[in-house]
A and B are shown apart, each in its own frame.
Chain A
Amino acid sequence: MRLLNRGKPRTRLSNSTLLFIIAGIIFLLMYGIAIVSFPVSFRQFQTFFDFFNLNAALFITTLGMCIVIIGGGIDISVGAVCGLVTMACALLLQSGAGNVWGALFLALGIGLAFGLMHGFLIAYLEIQPFIITLAGMFLAQGLLTTLHKEPLNVTNPDFVALRRFTIEIPWLGTVNRLGVFIPCEIKPGVIVVVALVVLYAVLMKWSSFGRNLYAVGGNRHSARMLGINVKKTIFLSYVLCGLTAGISGFVFLMTTGAGNIGNGALYEIKAIAANVMGGIMLSGGVGNLLGAPIGTLTLLTINELIRAAGVQSNLQAIVAGLLLYLFIVLQSIIMALRDRREFRLALPPWLKPHRS
């Protein structure tokens, strides 16, 4: 520090940090609006925790997506993989042949298989990630409907026990009308979310893989010139994203308790929207991993607002889409203002027209 403070240029906030702060402010703003508009439900802490309890799988999917987006890629198969995992695990648990551990390994195995395949095709054969993961999405969806068409409740006692398990927070809660204190409850899925957020945040900030991934997302060409193994880095990011999608499937099943062909539907678009709202730029290389859960919260708050306002719930997907547009444009404007350059949409590398 002694070296730096001698009239050296002031360090401005990095783009990642700036966007993260903005994402945080937007979330607080949205939540504030929610509290003001619907004080009865939003002033209860449990409502906040229920975001996590009910949407743990979405949080996890968003984390995996965040990693590939930072690397300048995209994975739109995550929702379908999540759905496939719920059904596969449900079948395994119901068949009587498997136990909870078996289901967990199956979930990880399916996620890993998709991750490895996508990573290989995208990193080493250099095929467009959008196309590859679109194919992966169809494949996973096809497998899902082939496995079982009807909703499948899991009655395996171990699993049901796990699913029913709740953790009470004794010092946090609300007093109901009868004057009884009701503590806040969290589900096991939330612990998985928290553990993964911490793990991935550490990975992105302190591991060579994480930093290399930022470099690759920032400028792939330069990253190669700097001696980074670009292909390996990209490969690993998809493997991690696939694995995370597998975990999200298992957590989804822990949340709803049934395999269903609709499970995880639209998670890819929600995950992308949540990341963008969390200040992760689709153009790659910019964004704080902690933005992913923040963005998810923003998205859920907005959806909850819509629901509480009594509008049809299928509006949620429309809103996710619209918000995605809005935030991409917003990010692009912020970046343009910041660099005092012409407005340019912050598009991911796989969407940019090739210039020769």
Chain B
Amino acid sequence: MQPEIILKMEGICKSFPGVKALHNVDFVLRRGEIHALMGENGAGKSTLIKILTGVYQKDAGQVYLEGRLVHFKSPQDAQNMGIGTVFQEIALCPNLTVAENMFIGRSRGAFVNWKQMNESAAKMLNSLGIPASPTQELASCSIAVQQMIAIARAVDMDCKILILDEPTSSLDEDETKKLFALMHELKARGVGIIFITHFIDQVYEISDRITVLRNGELIGEYLTAELPQIELVSKMMGKALSDVSAIKKHEPPKSDDSVPVFEARGLSSATGVRPFDFSVHKGEVNGFAGLLGSGRSESVRAIFAADKVTGGEVKINGKVVKIRTPLDAMKQGIGYLPEDRKSDGIIDELSVRDNIILALQVMKGFFRPLSRKQAEEFANQYIQLLEIKTPSLDTSVKSLSGGNQQKAILARWLLTHPMYLILDEPTRGIDVGTKVEIQKLVLKLAAEGMSLTFISSEIDEMLRVCSRLIVMRDREIVGELSGVDLTEQNVMQMIAQGGGE
């Protein structure tokens, strides 16, 4: 017998300025099922949830709750209709007490009965084993406890639909187990549960069905039991498994006994990547592979100290050094081309020349400016070398095409003659021709003795230029592949299964 459908979303579209977050997405939830919503970071999962719960208004499409067309104008409406939600960014008020956070916005009464509220909250906290007191200010609870409190609130609402958007991201194993037990209990009571997580194991442990989104589009709905893990990963990444097109042109990895150019032990940053070890040898091109959001960028940003470094030891050519700020890193000969060139890299208003000489100027210090002649010489040299198409040196960089902007930033780093250059998504959003040029350049620089780390969302591109891939999952390094093992199949396998082979 087909279980009863409680929620149906049809043809949902949503755009944000400059981004099409959702395009014509359908989603169906049945009574008493746990339905996993999967997709890489930015696929549109949270947006779909927020449309369902009235946080955002959809541009197009319909939502049917138990067969009735509904239109939620605010989270309040959704809550009143029996939809309990734990949002990805824990949506609680830090300045209120734990009990208040569990009950505020739920009763329509004009006054608050503190005693009763604290008692109910205490019962709830106790039954879920949450180590918090009802009268404690939420701000003094750890993130994990806050997450549990958000869950307790949603669960307590006696809802028809429970939405959990990455609820386990900061929970430990025990807490996750408790949550899963709770989910099973609610499922047995007929609650429909939408579960979002980036832990693939958890999806297979608990969900009945999986819906996959990619780039705001619906890829499909599958029964969990009928979808092998590796196929799920390939659907999330948008790669057919058969399409193994690794045209390996890279040179063999350098001998491993030499002293690495850069070496890190237990490096961690404020962004929450697990402490990791990492090294790169002279003339080596390596890369970080993983789903979007797996911590690739965070890792390289930690190397460059672009985010606050919270621990670890770094050695350059075998010598321990302190790298606390990007400038420290630059002085040690490390260059970093950020993923987001719009916000971190290119300075729109400056000319091509000024953008190119920026890093060198920063390293020299602003009190010793490069002469204009020098600046022009340098800029011209690299414009020719990288074939940057610009009408003049004084053209402001924002009027160049994406590919040429990218080359300008690349020129900026090459000008400082780094010993080790990190390129985070250097080929995103640029045309195929330029892409190939940049790939060739990377290999050429390596042949000349520079060490590089290359990150790309396109696996085949990484396979083409990197001789070693560090595979990440859930902000943790799960393995390394090099030599003959370095195949697309293996990379995906590793992402799907984690380290345990």
Residues of A within 8 A of B (CB): 3-4, 8-9, 11-12, 14-16, 206-209, 211-212, 214-215, 217-219, 221-229, 285-286, 339
**Bound: A16/B139 CA distance, A:** 12
| CB within 8 Å for A211 and B95 given contacts A9-B132, A9-B133, A225-B55 | no
| CB within 8 Å for A208 and B110 given contacts A4-B122, A12-B140 | yes
Question: Which A-chain residue is minimally distant from B80 (CB atoms)?
Answer: A227
**What is the interface of chain B mostly: helix, strand, loop, or mixed?**
loop
Is A8 a contact partner of B133 (Cβ separation < 8 A)?
yes
Interface positions of B from 69 to 85, Cβ below 8 Å from A:
74-76, 79-80, 85
**Bound: A214/B55 CA distance, A:** 20
Q: How far is the CB of B428 from chain A (nearest CB, A)?
A: 20
Question: Which A-chain residue is minimally distant from B110 (CB atoms)?
Answer: A208
Is B114 a contact partner of A206 (Cβ separation < 8 A)?
yes
Is B96 a contact partner of A217 (Cβ separation < 8 A)?
no
**Bound: A8/B133 CA distance, A:** 7
Is the C-beta of B483 less than 8 angstroms from some C-beta in chain A? no
Name the contact of B91 in the complex, choosing from A226, A285, A286 (C-beta under 8 A). Answer: A226
Is B132 a contact partner of A227 (Cβ separation < 8 A)?
no
| CB within 8 Å for A208 and B107 given contacts A9-B133, A219-B94 | yes
Q: How far is the CB of B462 from chain A (nearest CB, A)?
A: 30
Q: Which residues of A contact B97 (CB under 8 A)?
A: 14
| CB within 8 Å for A12 and B137 given contacts A215-B104, A226-B101, A226-B104 | yes
Q: Which residues of B contact A14 (CB under 8 A)?
A: 95, 97, 137
Is A226 a contact partner of B133 (Cβ separation < 8 A)?
no
Q: Which residues of A contact B105 (CB under 8 A)?
A: 212, 215, 223, 226-228
**Bound: A9/B100 CA distance, A:** 18
Is the C-beta of B106 less than 8 angstroms from some C-beta in chain A? yes
Name the contact of B126 in the complex, choosing from A3, A12, A224, A286 (C-beta under 8 A). Answer: A3
Is A15 a contact partner of B104 (Cβ separation < 8 A)?
no
Is the C-beta of B391 less than 8 angstroms from some C-beta in chain A? no
Interface positions of B from 5 to 40, Cβ below 8 Å from A:
none
In the assembled complex, 11 residue pairs joining A and B whose CB atoms fall closer than 8 Å, in A order, are: A4-B122, A8-B132, A12-B137, A15-B137, A208-B109, A209-B110, A215-B93, A215-B104, A225-B91, A226-B91, A229-B74
Q: Which residue among A11, A207, A212, A226 has the maximum number of chain B CB atoms within 10 Å of its CB?
A: A226
Q: Which residues of B contact A217 (CB under 8 A)?
A: 95
**Bound: A15/B105 CA distance, A:** 22
Q: Which residues of B contact A212 (CB under 8 A)?
A: 104-105
| CB within 8 Å for A223 and B137 given contacts A208-B112, A211-B112 | no
Is B104 a contact partner of A8 (Cβ separation < 8 A)?
no
Is the C-beta of B381 less than 8 angstroms from some C-beta in chain A? no
Q: Which residues of A contact B106 (CB under 8 A)?
A: 227
Q: Which residues of B contact A229 (CB under 8 A)?
A: 74, 76
Is A11 a contact partner of B136 (Cβ separation < 8 A)?
yes
Is the C-beta of B135 less than 8 angstroms from some C-beta in chain A? yes
Is the C-beta of B131 less than 8 angstroms from some C-beta in chain A? yes
Question: Which A-chain residue is minimally distant from B121 (CB atoms)?
Answer: A3
Q: How far is the CB of A279 from chain B (nearest CB, A)?
A: 13
Is B111 a contact partner of A285 (Cβ separation < 8 A)?
no
| CB within 8 Å for A15 and B91 given contacts A218-B96, A225-B85, A227-B105 | no
Is B94 a contact partner of A226 (Cβ separation < 8 A)?
no
Q: Which residues of B contact A16 (CB under 8 A)?
A: 95
Is the C-beta of B65 less than 8 angstroms from some C-beta in chain A? no
Q: Which residues of A contact B100 (CB under 8 A)?
A: 211, 215
| CB within 8 Å for A228 and B136 given contacts A3-B126, A4-B122, A217-B95 | no
**Bound: A11/B93 CA distance, A:** 17
Q: Which residues of B contact A209 (CB under 8 A)?
A: 110
Question: Which B-chain residue is minimally distant from A9 (CB atoms)?
Answer: B131
Q: Which residues of A contact B134 (CB under 8 A)?
A: 4
Is B75 a contact partner of A208 (Cβ separation < 8 A)?
no
Is A228 a contact partner of B95 (Cβ separation < 8 A)?
no
Is A12 a contact partner of B136 (Cβ separation < 8 A)?
yes
Is B104 a contact partner of A225 (Cβ separation < 8 A)?
no
**Bound: A221/B90 CA distance, A:** 11
| CB within 8 Å for A218 and B107 given contacts A211-B112, A224-B74, A227-B79 | no
Q: Which residues of B contact A222 (CB under 8 A)?
A: 90-93
Question: Which A-chain residue is minimally distant from B97 (CB atoms)?
Answer: A14
| CB within 8 Å for A228 and B87 given contacts A207-B110, A218-B95 | no
Q: How far is the CB of B405 from chain A (nearest CB, A)?
A: 20
Is A215 a contact partner of B96 (Cβ separation < 8 A)?
yes
**Bound: A137/B375 CA distance, A:** 54
Is B104 a contact partner of A228 (Cβ separation < 8 A)?
yes
Is A15 a contact partner of B139 (Cβ separation < 8 A)?
yes
Question: Which B-chain residue is minimally distant from A223 (CB atoms)?
Answer: B93
Is A225 a contact partner of B75 (Cβ separation < 8 A)?
yes
Name the contact of B112 in the complex, choosing from A9, A206, A227 (C-beta under 8 A). Answer: A206
